[in-house]
Amino acid sequence: MEKQTAIIIPARYGSSRLEGKPLLKAKNKPIIQWVWEKASACPNVDRVIVATDNELIFNACKEFGAEVEMTSSEHKSGSDRIAEVAFRHPEIGYIINLQGDEPLIEQSNIELVIKGVREDEKADISTLVRKITEEHEINNPNLVKCVFDVNNYAMYFSRSKIPFERNKGKAEFYGHLGIYGYKREALFKMTGLVQTSYEMAESLEQLRALQNGMKIKVAVVDNIPVGIDTMEDFEHFKAIVEG
């Protein structure tokens, strides 16, 4: 039987910086609907599922016709939440973890992540990076940096500036975009592992996979997604779509 490819969108109501953000509306559509519509337009996807622990989000998703499942409120990360959903569906072989707060992500980006995990036999996980050149981005601990090898497998992710430039002008810097593709068994392996020292030091879940020898395939894109973390971000998004 052909393994299904599913995009699972984790959506929490509680957010320290912007509570209830999946339900904020632009052009009379909640953010979560914008993301769901973008995911649903991808041709190489069998289904799109919203994973939430909140009844308001659950009901809103039902209203606009999304497949949505309730999950435990105890999950510490989005990957734990999507693993709960994937576990219920043995027919799903490839899982894309698409953040519910990036309504302007490009469809081509999602498709690159799908390609990375479906077509590369060695890859357990796939993700995206973009080249960064501005010093304020390179030094921003909220923008995670990634270094990868000549075969485009991630070597390390850090909140620090990596690589260190002993020789000025010799380094290229890449910022990580928080979308992941997983082979089914890789998702369950990663979420079943205990937190590692690098993960706890940097607060970066993907380091748990790297520290345990899992391979993360990286694709480089040249666009900057508009993520929504604050009310200011939301107003910016609203201005873009409402004109």
CATH number corresponding to 4-237: 3.90.550.10
Residue with token string 């435990």? 72
pTM: 0.93
Domain boundaries, the chain: 4-237
**Cα–Cα distance measured from residue 20 to residue 3, given in angstroms and rounded to the nearest whole number:** 34
Burial 172-201 (b: 16+ CB within 10 A, else e): ebbbbbbbbbbbbebbebbbeeeeeebbee
Beta-carbon neighbour count of residue 169 at 10 Å? 5
Q: What is the pLDDT of residues 133-186, one digit of tens each?
A: 999 999 999 899 999 999 999 999 999 999 999 998 899 999 999 899 999 999
Q: What is the pLDDT of residues 8-61, one digit of tens each?
A: 999 988 776 778 889 999 999 999 999 999 999 999 899 999 999 999 999 999
Q: What is the pLDDT of residues 177-207, one digit of tens each?
A: 989 999 999 999 999 999 999 999 999 999 9
